[in-house]
Homo-oligomer: A and B are copies of this chain.
Amino acid sequence: MGTLSSPTEAVDLSHHINKRSKARHPSPLKDIIKFMNQDGMISLAGGSGAGNGELVALARRLTDRLHAPTYRYDCLLHPGNTNAWAKVVGLLCEEDDNIIVDEYVYPSAQALWIPMGIKAVPVDADAEGMQADKLEKMLATWDDGGRRGKRPHVVYIVPVGSNPTGLSISKRRRQALYEVCVKYDMIIVEDDPYYCLQYPPYNPKAADATVDSTAAPLPTDEFVASLIPSFLSMDRQGRVIRLESFSKTLFPALRLGYFIANPVFIERLLRASEVETQDPSGLSQLFVLQLLRQWTIDGYIGWLQTLQSQYRQRRDWLLGAIAENFELMETDTGSSTSASKEYRACIRGSDGDVKPVFSFVDPTAGMFLWTKFDLRAVSRFSELSDKQDISDPEQTFADELWKAWCSELILVTPGSYYHPWQGPEFTATAARGAEAATCDFRLSFATPTKEQIELGQYVGFTLTL
């Protein structure tokens, strides 16, 4: 990303900070830290919990390399993205707020704020991710304090290889979303642990090819240029809070990552960290610090490329196994710029008719495949739909199917886990406004072997026929 021109200052966004967070005072113990490092000082004042400065400096260098922010930002260590998101909600949200989310949302993210009376406001996505025109229309027509309650001011988004949908938001869509957020004074929380796990689209013709994970990594600049630009990189006002994690790139349960945001938000997040968590585990900090020292930033980015090819390989195994059992038909998404193609997995009946079973968007990042099942021609679903005492036949069918897979020792995650919480009256398929005669499941290809994936596809998905 070359040399930066002098960064601009973030605009004043302090009106987004909630009442409780505004009321925090620095711990007086922190005042004493500057004296501790004085030469020759005999300290009878005890220890301090300041984070590792070298690690923070490395996080800044990595940020400049990957995102080259154009405004003056700060970094702060945090103990994993779950806690980071909890702190951001603690920074920005009041009780009974509304938060803009993707069409589907990670359950722990919303389980945090449901007890606060906060509700999710999902925005529909296509293969390019959250739809900017739908977001704009919603904000333009929002009746503040009316039927839907308080006007939202926070967008929570997993923009690359989203958990659960596997979607990545395209560059032009991001630009459109960012402009909507500027227009309506929204804060964008970019929870992006899979950012460096972007890989090329699935190529059916080369499905059997083994990805060469020993290939030399690209030069850093070339690699960075191959990634979709982050919201942070587009941010000219300091309205993006980016959550980074080492857990998805080094190992799970490391519980170490960092915030990137404007200095006003970072200072408040630091105040919360002092009293809620202190620094992340010293062992985790030490491990990452030593690794980055030894590898250098470029070496770490090289490592990310190896990981990238491993996830690509796993995605190819899964989509290859689907292609073995189904006819894959590309859906015309009407978009020429979207890198991610949408497919229907079909079977051909004895009468030669093609019957769609499920559809999915090829994940070009991360570790998840989101499958939307088409129940229109499923006889069991018709049976359930005809029963008077079944209020949500889609969900009832999904539960039955999930249990049938379980009994065949195939475990997938029910789509219902990811339904945005819009209140108790909006949980059934129809009430949520979801497409009739569909249900969803999330498949993770992060851990199973090639053989497990193939067997899983064969045993599991043939059950749906």
| Interface positions of A (Cβ within 8 A of B) | 20-25, 27-29, 32, 35-36, 38, 40-47, 49, 79-80, 82-83, 86, 107-109, 111-112, 114-116, 251-256, 274-285, 287, 367-368, 406, 409-414, 416-417, 442-448, 452-453, 455-456, 460
Contact = CB atoms under 8 A, between A and B. Distances in A.
Given A42-B411, A252-B47, A253-B281, A116 B20 contact: yes
B255 A448 contact: no
Contact of A44 (B42, B280, B281, B443): B443
Nearest to A412: B44
Nearest to A419: B28
Contacts of A47: 252, 444, 446-447
Contact of A82 (B41, B111, B112, B276): B276
Contacts of A452: 42
Pick the most buried of A24, A44, A287: most chain B CB atoms within 10 A of its CB. Answer: A44
10 contacts: A24-B115, A28-B107, A41-B410, A42-B411, A43-B411, A46-B447, A108-B278, A253-B285, A256-B281, A281-B283
Contacts of A367: 46
Contacts of A107: 27-29
Nearest to A116: B20
Contact of A42 (B29, B42, B112, B409): B409
Nearest to A26: B111
Pick the most buried of A108, A109, A448: most chain B CB atoms within 10 A of its CB. Answer: A108
A253 B274 contact: no
B116 A448 contact: no
A419 B305 CA distance: 53
A277 to B, nearest CB: 5
B38 A409 contact: yes
Contacts of A38: 409
A427 to B, nearest CB: 12
B115 A20 contact: yes
A422 to B, nearest CB: 15
Contacts of A282: 251-255
B252 A281 contact: no
Contacts of A25: 111, 114
Pick the most buried of A32, A43, A82, A413: most chain B CB atoms within 10 A of its CB. Answer: A43
A252 B20 CA distance: 29
B275 A112 contact: yes
Pick the most buried of A36, A47, A367: most chain B CB atoms within 10 A of its CB. Answer: A47
8 pairs of A and B residues whose beta carbons are closest in the complex: A253-B282, A281-B281, A46-B444, A23-B115, A112-B275, A283-B283, A255-B281, A28-B417
A284 B253 CA distance: 10
Contacts of A111: 24-25, 27, 274-275
Given A42-B411, A42-B455, A42-B456, 20 more contacts: A20-B116, A25-B111, A28-B414, A29-B417, A41-B409, A42-B448, A42-B460, A45-B413, A46-B367, A46-B368, A47-B444, A79-B281, A82-B275, A82-B276, A83-B276, A108-B275, A108-B278, A111-B274, A255-B278, A281-B284
Pick the most buried of A20, A24, A109, A282: most chain B CB atoms within 10 A of its CB. Answer: A282
Contacts of A36: 411
Contact of A112 (B253, B276, B285, B412): B276
A41 B25 CA distance: 51
A406 B278 contact: no
Contacts of A409: 38, 40-42
Contacts of A43: 411, 444, 447-448
Contacts of A46: 367-368, 413, 442, 444, 446-447
A23 B114 contact: yes
Contacts of A443: 44
A417 B28 CA distance: 6
A356 B21 CA distance: 45
Contacts of A255: 79, 277-282
A385 B239 CA distance: 51
